[in-house]
Amino acid sequence: MNATLLHDIIFYIMYFALAIALVIIIERAISFAWTWRQARQLEQALTPQVRQINALPAELLRRNSLPLSMIQPIMLHKNQHNAQSLNDMVETQYLLSKPQLNRGLWLLETIVTAAPLLGLLGTVMGIIDTFKALSASGVSEPSLVSAGMGTALYATGLGIAIALIALVGNNYLQSRMDRIGELLKVLLIRAAGSALPLPDAADNWAENGAQRYA
């Protein structure tokens, strides 16, 4: 394959990887901001007195958000008084939220690893192309060699720059995702707690009286 063509293809791939990284960072940042806002509003609305999903504010129920979709099955499952079953539902809903939060982040991690390697490959191809051109033309002018080497080394610099952008974006999104995950776990625990029945005063009196006179 022509070294010049391969060198150009590597540059196009790196530019495409940079565009993908920026799109993922922006999309995930907006999505995380929306999810965080909805989770905070649900946290404030989900008090111990709220025992039905319909008791939540209507404006929260109208919004299709990840936090609401997570607590809905638990709130609707309130008639089952088995605490172990509710704990299993909490864990299940929490695990199901992970793929939605992680969407696209694996691409950022891949770009962090692949971008410097692509840059190094582009540099190697550029050096090969430079020496081929010099040997074919028989020119031994040092300035021409320097110009060709500078173009080749630009690929390495571009690859490192893309990797740094993707790395910073990925670390920021990972920290945001961890905070959102903790808040979602709090919401699930609150939903499970509000799903448990309130103790009946008469039943408590009868139970205490039975224990007292046993």
Q: What is the pLDDT of residues 67-99, one digit of tens each?
A: 888 888 777 766 665 667 777 778 888 888 888
Q: What are phi and psi of 52, to 5 degrees?
A: -125, 145
Nearest to 45, CA basis, from 33, 59, 64: 59
Indicate if the alpha-carbon torsion angle 187, 46, 172, 166 is positive or negative.
positive
Tokens standing for residue 193: 């707690």
Q: What are phi and psi of 82, to 5 degrees?
A: -80, 115
pLDDT of 115: 93
Task: State the pTM of this model.
Answer: 0.77
pLDDT of 65: 81
Q: What is the mean pLDDT of residues 143-168?
A: 82
Q: How far apart are CA 81 and CA 190, in angstroms?
A: 15
CA dihedral 25, 30, 32, 35 (to 10 degrees): -160
pLDDT of 143: 60
pLDDT at 9 over 90: no
- What does the pLDDT look like over 157-194, one tens digit per residue? 999 999 999 999 999 999 999 999 999 888 888 877 75
Q: In sequence order, what are the residues at sequence separation of 6 or more whose Cβ sits closer than 8 angstroms to the Cβ of residue 125?
A: 3, 6, 7, 10, 152, 155
pLDDT of 5: 76
